[in-house]
Structure 1
Amino acid sequence: MINWLKRLSSRFRKDTGNFFFEIKNITGFDPVTEEHYKLAFRHSSASRENQGARLNNQRLEYLGDAILGAIVADFLYDRYPESGEGYLTSMRSKIVSRRHLNQLGMKMGLNKLVVKKTSRTVNAKSIYGDALEALIGAVYLDRGFEDTKAFVLDRIINVHVDVSTLENRIASHKGAILEWGQKHKKEIAFEITGCYGESHNRKYEISMKIDGDLISTGSGSSKKKAEEEASRLAYKKILVHDNG
């Protein structure tokens, strides 16, 4: 029994060491409070119960989202002094878009650290982008704003973000569809056609209609994400039609 406990303790220390080696490798500095980082990689599908509360990375994701937006806005303001508000706002939206953050999370290897109990289809949508925002929130709580800013600029933007490529990317397919509708005098409408799952892991289904005709149906973990997915699918159809 004693030997078994020693082996278990040794394995725990090894796993913990591996985790913090990965965190240091990603952020560039030693973590101080381990719980922030462990929570940052716990998806809602694998929530832990603690005195009636469900512990996952959603609160850290909320915090990281706000901090990332501020850092990116400051970065663009300094980098492009001649650019107007419209360009800066568009580029910020593209950098912090769910699609782009998910790609960044994969590039940074966050998929190896996320604790989840969900399908591959859901994985591809937003899990690793959410984890990246949660990690930024964890760094902020652990190290403060200046270290967080250094992490975002030195380890994310300067290494993984290609602004010139993003310039030609659509930041919001919903925005593009609504703009197209105004230009062509079309009525665009979104309708919730389904809502599934428990409150902590809910999935929405939303249909998009143009002048009353059903064009596409999208799904996502929020109404906003489902609308964006429906808009993306509709945009592809409209693009094919216009080019045809």
Structure 2
Amino acid sequence: MRRVLTRLKNLFLPDKELSAQLEHLLGFKPKHLPYYQLALLHRSKNDELARNNERLEFLGDAYLGAIVAEYLFKKYPTQSEGYLTEMRSRIVRRETLNNVANRMGLQKLVQYNTQDRGIERSHIFGNALEALVGAVYLDQGYTRTRTFVIKQFLHAYVDVEMMASTDTNYKNQLLNWAQTNRQSLSFELMTDKREGARRMFTVGIFLNDALFCEGTAYSKKEAGQVAARKALELIAGNH
């Protein structure tokens, strides 16, 4: 274990400097710094399970989802289960988390293989944010984790009201357009290949049996959304 901690220290800023940056980001001083160092270590830098942030990402994902669910449950006392589920999905989805992580400045702290050009296009910083939530839980307990998520994540970086009034499910928007305009529309997986350490998916949209546009991302679902957004932009540009 000592060897693991020593290797972690060698990858990061001096303890005092990293601790100060984390204190500014988290709103409190970390007690056990190695939790946070592990949360900031992407598998492209170290693919050994015990020495990257994937397990902490799993833990943080669970607590983040639960805290956001409680927050929405109290904020919208008259809304249905379906509404609350959709809102939680929008808040904790990879695109939102990655955007927040970059605004927080996590990309300056995460250790990853900078030679792999495909990695930065993935959601490693959003994943690191989830891992950070896991580190906070292990280091500080549930109450402090809840405070961090609500104050330093939701209140500071997520406009819940705007998100509630904006339909960002591009696939549903496109399907509704096709139905309204009596157009034949389908989504098809074009390619599924590896790019560096990650799988890359390309989804094509066929309009009236002809390829209309494509979208590429690190999950099939997200690739479909990317393609749908492009299709909506093309349709809007033609009117």
Q: Normalising TM by the smaller chain, what interval?
A: 0.7 to 0.9
Identity of aligned pairs, percent? 37
Q: CA deviation at 1:135?
A: 0.8
Aligned residue in 2 for 1:128? 125
Give yes or no for the alignment of 1:109 onto 2:105.
Answer: yes
Change (3 A) 1:55 1:227: farther
Q: CA deviation at 1:100?
A: 1.9
Whole-angstrom CA distance in 1 between matches of 2:124 and 2:210: 32
- For 1:12 and 1:233, locate their aligned partners in 2 and report how far apart those are by CA, in whole Å: 39
Aligned counterparts of 1:116 and 1:13: Cα–Cα separation in 2? 11
TM-superposed CA distance for 1:57, in Å, is: 2.1
Aligned twin of 2:186:
188
In the other structure, the counterpart of 1:227 is 224
CA distance in 2, matches of 1:73, 1:56: 27
* Alignment partner of 1:160 is 2:180: no
Task: Give the match for residue 38 of structure 1.
Answer: 37
Native 8 Å contact 1:73 1:88 kept in 2: yes
- Cα RMSD for the two superposed structures: 2.7
Gaps of 5+ in 2: 1-9
Q: Which amino acid aligns with 1:195?
A: K
When residues 58 and 183 of structure 1 are mapped into structure 2, their CA distance, relative to the original with a 3 A threshold, is: farther
Give 1:93's match in structure 2, choosing from 68, 89, 92.
89
Q: Which moved more, 1:167-176 or 1:75-84?
A: 167-176
Query: Following TM superposition, by how much is the alpha carbon of 1:152 offset from its aligned partner in structure 2, in angstroms?
Result: 0.3
CA distance in 1 between counterparts of 2:25 and 2:103 reads 11
Contact 1:97 1:171 in 2 (8 A): no
Tell me, in whole angstroms, the C-alpha distance in 1 between the residues paired with 2:201 and 2:16. 39
Q: Conserved in 2, the CA contact under 8 Å of 1:218 and 1:228? A: yes
| 1:24 pairs with 2:23 | yes
Structure 1's unaligned 5+ residue stretches are 1-10
Q: Is the 8 A contact 1:93 1:171 kept in 2?
A: no
1:120 positional shift: 6.2
Q: Are 2:11 and 2:111, in contact at CA under 8 Å, matched by a contact in 1?
A: no
* Residue-pair matches, total: 228
Residues 47, 54 of structure 1: 8 Å contact kept: no
- Conserved 8 A contact 1:43-1:115: yes
1:220·1:226 contact (CA, 8 Å) conserved in 2? yes
The 1:69–1:183 alpha-carbon spacing in structure 2 relative to 1, beyond 3 Å, is farther
Provide closer, same or farther for how the CA distance between residues 170 and 106 of structure 1 changes in structure 2, counting only shifts above 3 A: same
In structure 2, the partner of 1:5 is none
